[in-house]
C-alpha cells in the first residue's frame, strides 16, 4: 500500500463495489483500472495495485473477485 494513498484506495473500492444479496463484491480488474485512472499511475505493477486494493476491500468487508488471472472464479472473503 506504500505506493498508493489510502484515500485513493478507499474511493476506488467504494466506486467499484457492487451490492449483491450476499454482500459487496469488488471485481479486481475494474478496481485496478479505476485506480490507474484516478492516480495516473501506470508504472506500478498490477499485482501491487491489486494487493493494496484487496487489503482495503477486505478491511471494508467486501468480497474480492480476481477476474483477470487463471482461477478467475475464485472469490476471497473475510
Domain boundaries, given as residue ranges, for the chain: 6-76
- pLDDT tens string for the chain (78 positions)? 678 999 999 999 999 998 876 678 999 999 999 999 999 999 999 999 999 999 999 999 999 999 875 555 555 565
* Interatomic CA distance for residues 57 and 24, integer angstroms: 9
Q: Given this model, what pLDDT does residue 23 score?
A: 79
Q: Given this model, what pLDDT does residue 1 score?
A: 61
Q: Given this model, what pLDDT does residue 19 score?
A: 83
Q: Given this model, what pLDDT does residue 60 score?
A: 94
User: Is-contact 8 52, C-beta < 8 A?
Assistant: no
C-alpha cell at 45: 505493477
Amino acid at each position: 500500500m506504500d505506493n498508493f494513498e489510502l484515500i485513493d484506495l478507499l474511493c476506488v473500492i467504494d466506486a467499484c463495489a457492487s451490492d449483491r444479496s450476499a454482500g459487496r463484491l469488488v471485481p479486481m480488474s475494474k478496481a485496478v483500472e479505476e485506480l490507474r485512472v484516478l492516480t495516473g499511475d501506470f508504472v506500478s505493477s498490477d499485482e501491487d495495485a491489486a494487493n493494496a486494493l484487496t487489503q482495503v476491500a477486505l478491511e471494508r468487508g467486501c468480497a474480492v473477485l480476481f477476474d483477470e488471472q487463471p482461477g478467475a472464479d475464485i472469490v476471497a472473503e473475510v
